[in-house]
Amino acid sequence: KAGVTQTPRYLIKTRGQQVTLSCSPISGHRSVSWYQQTPGQGLQFLFEYFSETQRNKGNFPGRFSGRQFSNSRSEMNVSTLELGDSALYLCASSLGQVTGNTIYFGEGSWLTVV
């Protein structure tokens, strides 16, 4: 069974540009969440999608957005990039059941903003 797949793995963008990251969850998983990981702040929750609806959202500005498609694949977008957006962006999927979810992370997308 294939794991969580994220593309691209590495990218470099310039301040002010926008970026779209893609995530394909484990087959059968309906919940996809996104995290930002930086050395200083650790793992921070961005948002979660379940059945194409945003179910939960962290404390990030509106420049960070996402969506989920009917096949559970998800994308996140960051507009007007800032230097501080440089981070590892992790996608994670789970069954999205009532309790006791185990989340499975992808390998992440390393974003560098210059």
Partner 1 sequence: GQQVMQIPQYQHVQEGEDFTTYCNSSTTLSNIQWYKQRPGGHPVFLIQLVKSGEVKKQKRLTFQFGEAKKNSSLHITATQTTDVGTYFCAGDMNYGGSQGNLIFGKGTKLSVKP
- Residue 67 burial class via C-beta count within 10 angstroms: exposed 0-12, middle 13-18, buried 19 and up: middle
Q: Are 34 and 25 in contact (CB under 8 A)?
A: no
Among 16, 43, 51, 80, binds partner 1 (CB under 8 A): 43
5 is a site residue for partner 1 (CB under 8 A): no
Tokens read off for 112? 């560098």
Count of alpha carbons within 13 Å of 11, Cβ hemisphere only? Answer: 20
Among 87, 94, 111, 113, binds partner 1 (CB under 8 A): 94
Widest pairwise Cα distance in the chain: 41
111 is a site residue for partner 1 (CB under 8 A): no
26 is a site residue for partner 1 (CB under 8 A): no
76 is a site residue for partner 1 (CB under 8 A): no
Pick 20 or 101: Cβ nearer partner 1: 101
Binding site for partner 1 (CB under 8 A): 31, 33, 35, 42-43, 45, 47-48, 50, 55-58, 90, 92, 94, 96-108
